[in-house]
Amino acid sequence: MTDALPAKSQLESGRPPGVCAEARMCTNAINDGADPKNLDIVTVNQKGKRFKMCPNCATWVPGFVRRGHDGMSGETERPEREALKALLAGVERVEFGEVDVEAACAAYTEAGYEVTGTLREFLENYGEIAVGWTAPDTGEELVLAISVEEAMEVYPPNVRSYSRRLGMQAVPIGIAMETEENVLLVENGDIVFAGDAGMQRVGNGFEAAVKAFVSSTWDKTFF
């Protein structure tokens, strides 16, 4: 199974990196007689939050990519996603999942949020995306997860409070950082981190915000 991994992801010993526990779990299951096409592996972080497996791990499960679990089922990607993939080339962990836009919009409506054209377009272009990288100075894994499920866990009155402070409507779209800051989409296109310490403007437009996030260059001043 080691041959299934891209060469760049292997250690000199030929074993996969320690971060790829999913690969070893899959191998053990196959050794025990499991059919890899029947395997579904769910990755969680230290806080028990679900995190999609990396492309490296996905290569260990024959048919995994073809079944579309990672959002790369062969369908034509939207140009915005293709541009984001190019921007994130070389980033440690990048996952593009599938999103049911109608179901997502229904969830937002049920939670009491207005489904604007801006929100719908965002979900179509960037719904279900996770980006992770390790800060070289602290070794901390920094994660930005755009997820309807995570967004629906944000307390709506907090979002209304954020909107009042911003002077514009904002909706939750995911979480970020080890502290699980709320990620907000503001009606003017800004992406904002919001939490107990305050708010930080990451960038205008999702692509610009992601670029600032993975380079750690966003304005970390709280307001």
Q: Average pLDDT for residues 215-222, to the nearest whole number?
A: 89
Q: Average pLDDT for residues 110-131, to the nearest whole number?
A: 93
**Is residue 214's pLDDT more than 60?**
yes
Residue 46: left (phi > 0), alpha (psi -120 to 50), or beta? alpha
Residues 20/28, Cβ–Cβ less than 8 Å: no
How do residues 134-144 score in pLDDT, each as one tens digit?
A: 877 777 778 89
pTM: 0.66
Higher model confidence: residue 32 or residue 114?
114
Cβ count within 10 A of residue 85: 15
- DSSP letters, the chain, are -GGGS-GGGS-TTSPPPTT-HHHHHHHHHHHTT--GGG----EE-TTS-EEPPPHHHHTTSTTTTTTTTTS-SSPPPPHHHHHHHHHTTT-SEEEE----HHHHHHHHHHTT----HHHHHHHHHHSSEEEEEE-TTT-PEEEEEE-HHHHTTS-HHHHHHHHHHHTS-EEEEEEETTTTEEEEEETTSEEEEEETTEEEEEEESHHHHHHHHHHT-S-----
* Confidence at 152, pLDDT banded by 50, 70, 90: very high
The phi, psi pair for 62, rounded to 5°, reads -55, 130
Which residues are within 8 A (CB) of 125 and not within 5 positions of it... i.e. 6 or more apart? 78, 80, 81, 206
* Confidence at 34, pLDDT banded by 50, 70, 90: confident
* Confidence at 36, pLDDT banded by 50, 70, 90: low
**Is residue 181's pLDDT more than 90?**
yes
Q: Average pLDDT for residues 139-168, to the nearest whole number?
A: 92
How do residues 50-81 score in pLDDT, each as one tens digit?
A: 555 555 555 554 444 323 333 333 344 678 88
pLDDT of residue 96: 85
* Confidence at 15, pLDDT banded by 50, 70, 90: very low
Show the tokens assigned to 7: 């060469």
Q: Determine the Cα–Cα distance for residues 119 and 108; give it in Å rounded to an integer.
A: 10
Which residues are within 8 A (CB) of 124 and not within 5 positions of it... i.e. 6 or more apart? 78, 99, 101
Domains of the chain with bracketed CATH: 2-58 (no CATH), 79-215 (3.40.1580)
- Regarding beta strands 50-51 and 129-134, do their DSSP bridges make them parallel or antiparallel, or are they unpaired? unpaired
